[in-house]
Amino acid sequence: MVEIKKITVELKELRKISTSIAKIVSANIKSEKVRYRLSKLAKILINELTELEKERQRLVKQFGEKDEKGNLIVKPEHEEEFNQRFDELQDESIEVSYIPVDLTGVEAGLNAVDMLNLEPFLDEKYIEKLMTDNEPIEAKKDEEIKTKDAPA
C-alpha cells in the first residue's frame, strides 16, 4: 500500500522551488512509477504557481501602466501597495497531497539547493541513503558502469 502524505506550503515557498520543479519535469526518468509520481506532483505545484502568477498579473494591471516600450509595469507611486498585497497573497498556504518520491536513477541535474527545495516531497529512505552515502551519487553511478563493463 502506497502512503499518501500531505504537506502545507506557503505560496512564496512554492515560488522559490519552481526552478527545481522545472528540472524534475524535464528529467530523464527510467522508472514509470517515479515518472508518474513526479508528473502528478509537478502538475499540482505548477497549477498553483500558474494561479499565483495570474493573480500577480491582475495586480500589475491594477497598479500599473505601460512604459515607453509597451511593457506593463507597476507605477512607482503604487509599488508599496502592490508589494504589500502580493506579499499577503504569497503568505497564503496550500495543502498538497503526494506520494513521496525516490529519485535514485533520475537524471535531472539537481544541485544541493534543488535537493533542499524538493526534500519535503522525497521518500525518507532515499534521503537517509543520501545522508549516509560517503560517495557522490554520480561517482557511484560511474563506478557501477565500470564494474558492469569490466571483463569477468
Grid cell 497598479 is found at 63
Please report the pLDDT score of residue 30 as a whole number. 86
Q: Which residues pair with 97 in a beta bridge?
A: 6
pLDDT at residue 79 greater than cutoff 90: yes
Range from 27-31, 73-77, 80-84, 147-151 carrying the lowest mean pLDDT: 147-151
Boundaries of domain holding 126:
5-149
Average pLDDT, the chain: 85
Query: Does residue 74 contact residue 82 with C-beta atoms inside 8 Å?
Result: yes
Instruction: Report which listed range, 23-32, 102-111, 113-122, is most confident.
Output: 113-122
Tens of pLDDT along 27-53? 888 888 888 888 888 899 999 999 999
Percent of the chain with pLDDT over 90: 39
In the chain, the number of structural domains is: 1
Q: Identity (one letter) of the amino acid at 7?
A: I
* Residue 3 neighbours by CB under 8 Å, 6+ apart: 99, 100
